[in-house]
Amino acid sequence: MEGCLRVGQPAPEFTATAVIDQQFKTIKLADYQGKYLVLFFYSLDFTFVCPTEVIAFSDRAEEFNAINAEILGVSVDSEFAHLAWIQTERKLGGVGDITYGLVSDLKKEISTAYNVLDPEAGIALRGLFIIDPDGIIQHATINNLSFGRSIDETLRTLKAIQHIQRHPGEVCPVDWQEGDKTMMPDPEKSKVYFASL
């Protein structure tokens, strides 16, 4: 599987320990069947860009939950490091109480399966995967470690995925936002969209 993970394929299954509501829980990917899952990887707890992302996803989790989506963060830290980070105030470099689980990938098996592990550094790149209710990867991006992701873009992408899955045969043009016009991928029918520009 390594190196060939693609959109349209089943997401690699995993079982791992996560910190959820300050408790250690064993979770698996299959637990999220029937929901969309935003699975994002980050390098390490107690770093610099990572807490900005973890906090931002937490602060906006209700927007994801409202459209049948859950969020999970994954790093190669232990569950004990995750718990300590959650129990550290935001103003001191922690993330405080967050609204979703942080998964421990201490053995680096999940990062390897999702092809985001930087083997030289021993940590995950900023991979983000949107997995649909059937366990199929619908979106994948990987950033290097120096810059964070956009919550707005993740939410926009998720809504576009949901729209095309609810409306087979339609496609979403550039910068599509919920409520915008879509088009039909057909030489004639697409002219309806282009004529409206």
Cβ-contact 152, 27 below 8 angstroms: no
| CA–CA gap between residue 69 and residue 63 (Å, rounded) | 9
Q: Convert 151-179 to b/e letters by CB count within 10 Å (16 or more is b).
A: beebbbbbbbbbbbeeeeeebbeeebeee
50 an active-site residue? yes
Residue tagged active-site, from 50, 74, 83, 158? 50
| CA–CA gap between residue 138 and residue 163 (Å, rounded) | 12
Cβ-contact 100, 58 below 8 angstroms: yes
**Enzyme catalytic residues:** 50
